[in-house]
Amino acid sequence: MASSFHAGQAPSGEVPQPVRNGAGATDPGPRNIERDRQNPHLLLPPVTDHGSVPNLKFSFSDTHNRVHEGGWAREVTQRELPVATTLAGVTMRLTRGGVRELHWHKASEWAYMLYGRARITAVDQEGRNFVDDVSVGDLWFFPAGIPHSIQGLEEDGAEFLLVFDDGDFSENETFSIADWFAHAPRDVLAKNFGVSEADLAGIPSSERYIFQGTVPGPLEADRVVSPKGEVPSAFSYRLLAQSPIRTPGGGVRIADATNFPITTTACALVEIEPGGLRELHWHTTTDEWQYYIEGKGRMTVFANSGRARTFDYQAGDVGYVPFAMGHYIENTGEGPLRFLELFKHSRFADISLNQWMALTPPQLVRDHLHLPERVVARLRQEKWPVVR
């Protein structure tokens, strides 16, 4: 099915205007035309939009970037997107050898590799350790309090998405090893490690956060043998090695505690073909946090009591759907649309509007919606795909 043209989306080169069928009026400015091009359904909402729904979109391009020798990081938290109370996100870039300092935090860390390769390390509370190399499409998950590190590999390092299970969490407030050393008395450090104070003369004066380190050698050379052994449940998962659930409009891969036991953050990597639709549905566990990887899409969120609002998304945007609100995601671009759905819950769960109607007594559905019998019968013949 070809992608459709929506009201408010001006053809390339034309200026979009908030005018439809005699309603509205042109906007002569001042205005940010590029912003209006990116958000045609905010400029000219569908007639079905109604009432007050909070902002459900924020772009990483609008965030402060923390730049260091060795890489950079920027974040979208509840500060940037107030409705996002359950999860916060960071995109981080590391050069070849660039290190995200040894650290830990109060929130759990879920991650998806977007570019390149990286080496991750961790030690758990039982003294068991973990080291692995991760590449595009791989996940990792570190429970709250678990100390860990990340280092870029290959010629061009790595970029990845980090998601934390607290909407108010900031990556700028982690517990860092160098920061702790800098704020512990030297005589205490010397006593703790059984060395002289002179041996500690070169320790940093503050946290290092991201810095340029020595490029590590082969993975096997970095494996440290622990008397307690390795962690029993891997902190990493190869999501792209999973066979997707394929439907006519695209496909989906799901990772939650059923196949990635350590995680308490469930995810779905959704791919929608041009003109395809992530069908109308809602989630039964918690809010949904989205990250758009590729393409363009639109989402209308139904918030009950006649309230609905439509948003447009593209690569680098964060989307959010509060708990139980109905929604869809439609590919409005010319190429594939790929995005992540994330949940502060160990299991992925949703209910399809089609499936609900198909499994409800037909006459009851017809009485509610005044649908022809053939339409209700067609629903019972479908297999309720995730993507149409």
Burial readout 227-257 (b: 16 or more C-beta within 10 A, e: otherwise): eeeebeeebbbebeebebeebebbbbbbbbe
Question: For residues 180 and 107, is the Cβ–Cβ distance under 8 A?
Answer: no
Q: Closest Cα partner for 230 from 132, 320, 159, 300?
A: 132
The DSSP H or E segment spanning 147 is: none
The alpha carbon torsion through 212, 214, 220, 223 (nearest 10 deg) reads -70
Of 206, 232, 240, 210, give the one whose Cα is nearest residue 340. Answer: 240
Q: Where are the alpha helices (DSSP H) in 121-253?
A: 177-182, 186-193
Backbone angles phi, psi at 42, to 5 degrees: -90, -40
CA-based nearest residue to 71, from 171, 149, 151, 185: 151
Distance, in Å, from the CA atom of 353 to the CA atom of 311, rounded to the nearest integer, reads 20
Q: Do 324 and 344 contact (CB within 8 A), yes or no? A: no
Say whether 341 is catalytic: yes
Q: One of 230, 273, 341, 373 is an active-site residue; which one?
A: 341
Please give the positions annotated as active site. 341
